[in-house]
C-alpha cells in the first residue's frame, strides 16, 4: 500500500470549457490542482514505480475540510468529533475523478485499473486530501 497527502482544501474536477470556436479545454484551476496532486505523490512516495498494466487497484480517499471560522463553538466541536459531516461542494465523485485522472500514467497505466474507489468527506483542523492505494485482493 502507498499513501500520500495533498495539503489544502479539497478540490474537484472542473467541467471542460468550450471556446467560441468549439475547442474544449480543462480549466486552469483543475490543471494546477492535478499538478499539485502529482507533486504530492512524488514528494511522499519518491521511490515508487507505477503499478503494472492490468493490476487491479483499490483507492481510498479521505477529503478533510477546514472547520469554518464563523461556526459557533458547539458546531465546531461536533465537526471535529465527526458528528457533523460536510455536505458541501465539491462532490465526493468529483474529488475522486480529479485524483484518478491526475495519476494516469504516473501511479498506474490507466484509471480503468481502479476496481474499488471509496471517497469520504470530514472536517479537521488542517484541510487536506489523504490518498491510499493498494492492490485489490478480494
Q: State the CATH number of the domain containing residue 13.
A: 3.30.1330.70
**Which domain, by its residues, includes 121?**
2-135
- For residue 104, the 8-state DSSP code is B
Distance CA 33, CA 102 (A): 9
User: pLDDT, tens digit, for every residue of 83-92?
Assistant: 999 999 999 9
Beta bridge partners of 4: 131
Number of structural domains (the chain) is: 1
Distance CA 4, CA 2 (A): 7
Position 138 pLDDT exceeds 80: no
User: pLDDT, tens digit, for every residue of 42-79?
Assistant: 999 999 888 999 999 999 999 999 999 999 999 999 99
Amino acid at each position: 500500500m502507498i499513501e500520500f497527502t495533498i495539503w489544502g482544501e479539497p478540490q474537484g474536477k472542473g467541467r471542460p470549457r468550450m471556446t467560441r470556436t468549439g475547442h474544449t479545454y480543462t480549466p486552469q484551476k483543475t490543471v494546477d490542482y492535478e499538478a499539485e496532486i502529482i507533486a504530492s505523490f512524488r514528494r511522499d512516495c519518491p521511490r515508487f514505480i507505477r503499478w503494472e498494466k492490468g493490476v487491479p487497484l483499490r483507492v481510498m480517499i479521505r477529503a478533510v475540510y477546514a472547520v469554518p471560522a464563523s461556526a459557533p463553538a458547539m458546531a465546531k466541536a461536533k465537526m471535529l468529533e465527526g458528528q457533523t459531516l460536510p455536505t458541501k461542494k465539491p462532490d465526493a465523485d468529483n474529488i475522486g475523478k480529479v485524483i484518478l485522472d491526475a495519476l494516469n500514467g504516473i501511479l498506474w497505466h490507466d484509471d480503468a485499473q481502479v476496481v474499488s474507489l471509496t471517497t469520504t468527506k470530514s472536517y479537521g483542523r488542517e484541510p487536506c486530501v489523504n490518498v491510499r492505494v493498494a492492490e485489490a485482493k478480494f
